[in-house]
A = this chain, B = another copy of it.
Amino acid sequence: MNDYRSVRVAVLGAGTVGSQVAAVLLERREELARRIGADIELVGVAVRRLDAPRDRELPRELLTTDAESLVLRADIVIELMGGIEPAKSLIERAIDGGADVVTGNKALIAAHGTELFERAERVGAAVYYEAAVAAAIPIIRPLRESLAGDNVTRILAIVNGSTNFILDRMHRFGDSAEAAQATALELGYLEADPTLDVEGYDAAQKAAILASLAFHTEIPADAVYREGITSVTADQVESARQAGYVIKLLAIVEKAVDADGAAGVSVRVYPALLNADHPLASVHGGNNAVFVEAEMAGPLMFYGAGAGGQETASAVLGDTVSAARRHVAGGPGIASSTHAELPVLPIGLVRTRYYITLTVTDRPGVLADVAGVFSRGGVSVQTVRQDVAEGDTAGTATLVIGTHAAGEAALRETVAALADNASVVGVESVLRVEGAE
């Protein structure tokens, strides 16, 4: 490879993804050189413990515990440690030294992305982060570049494989929430502490990243309205299934207007009903999919594995090849773009549809009574289904009510008024319906 220039690459972190990336950089060195037009030299892999067991064995002489020195010896720094610190400080150090950065760190990008992109832009470096959302599914690059001349209006996305696995088990196999979660844990879809996944924090970070890109606006993860899947029951899933719906944990980002008609952005994560014929409804198991609607392009969908060491490594290596090509030929990285500065609208301003299950007393006049609550709340009813449970002796019935689109605030007030209504024994379930026109 004497006629190639050389690009020095450092990998920070040798966990599942990091050790895979480092191993591939070594194994496929010649093939990558041909694709890039330059040799990729792996100058070191920063680890916490030199003798820890790893998924892929790496040459001992490449390992170092001195990440701070390593980042200054590289043209491209691949950060796969995760978490905010020391990842952030090391990335800053790499950028200040003029290196490009490739990272899969969604927490860091969601919290400090704009700051890091601007820091990189000042020195002519670039930050690549395709692996931060939906693993190997190309979604960052399409949003940043392919749709750069179009206007995204809405994204509906399944970006957390663990919760999709759980909800899919419940939907397709009739598992209880507990059983589905136990299976997810057993098969490695969930961490020992599942909070980040099941409470929607992971999806909210990814929603923030997608929204920032789609709307050219800095959107921090804590501005994302978030509900997890812990309240979703097997009964809800079954009832949804019978009505032609699937329950999915959706990350939703869309352009919206506030009460005065001023433009804003809504970014939210919650379990919602999707029509069974929506393209996202057939995303099974631990897979991810991102459904993008743009003004000119119309609806697009990107589908694939949302996690996994190999899959994430594929995205990291794609970014690394891009960064290396740029390094060889000089020139720009992909610039950050937050010029739009749209406000994030509070959840109360979002317009959505509710799907409400009530237990009511089974006597004449109840339906009129309940309908009156919706009417006074300014919420229009689209569908009503009444079930009397078999063998019911308590004198109660079940009402399932689907609303037309209404403001979230009005819907919440209506649900509160239903709970207080004398005809209503209990509000059993409230879910939003998404993905319809």
Mask, A315-329, CB within 8 Å of B = 1, is: 111111110011011
User: CA of A308 to CA of B295 in the docked complex: distance in angstroms?
Assistant: 13
From B35, B303, B334, B339, A34 is in contact (CB under 8 Å) with B339
**Among the listed stretches A50-58, A87-95, A139-147, A171-179, which one makes contact with chain B, having 4 or more residues with CB under 8 Å of it?**
A139-147
From B32, B303, B316, B332, A300 is in contact (CB under 8 Å) with B303
Q: How many positions in chain A have a CB within 8 Å of any CB in the partner chain?
A: 60
Residue contact B147 to A300, C-beta cutoff 8 Å: no
The interface residues of chain B lying within 8 Å CB-to-CB of A295 are: 310, 314
Residue among A282, A294, A326 facing the most chain B CB atoms (10 A cut-off)? A294
Residue contact B145 to A142, C-beta cutoff 8 Å: no
The interface residues of chain B lying within 8 Å CB-to-CB of A24 are: 149, 296
Mask, A237-256, CB within 8 Å of B = 1, is: 00000000000000000000
Contacts A37-B335, A301-B304, A310-B296 given; indicate if A32 touches B149 (C-beta within 8 A). yes
The interface residues of chain B lying within 8 Å CB-to-CB of A316 are: 149
The interface residues of chain B lying within 8 Å CB-to-CB of A325 are: 332, 334-335
Q: Which of A261-309 contact B (CB under 8 A)?
A: 279, 282, 294-305, 308
Residue contact A141 to B146, C-beta cutoff 8 Å: yes
A313 at the interface (CB under 8 A from B): yes
A31 to chain B minimum Cβ distance, whole angstroms, is 8
User: CA of A130 to CA of B142 in the docked complex: distance in angstroms?
Assistant: 11
A96 at the interface (CB under 8 A from B): no
User: CA of A34 to CA of B339 in the docked complex: distance in angstroms?
Assistant: 7
Residue contact B149 to A138, C-beta cutoff 8 Å: no
User: Could you list 12 examples of A-B contacts with CB < 8 Å?
Assistant: A34-B337, A35-B148, A136-B298, A141-B145, A142-B142, A145-B318, A146-B315, A146-B318, A148-B322, A295-B310, A302-B303, A329-B335
- A interface with B by C-beta (< 8 Å): 20, 24, 28, 32, 34-35, 37, 130, 135-138, 141-142, 145-150, 216, 279, 282, 294-305, 308, 310-311, 313-322, 325-326, 328-332, 334-335, 337, 339-340
The 7 closest A-B pairs by CB, nearest first: A331-B331, A149-B317, A329-B332, A136-B297, A138-B146, A296-B314, A148-B321
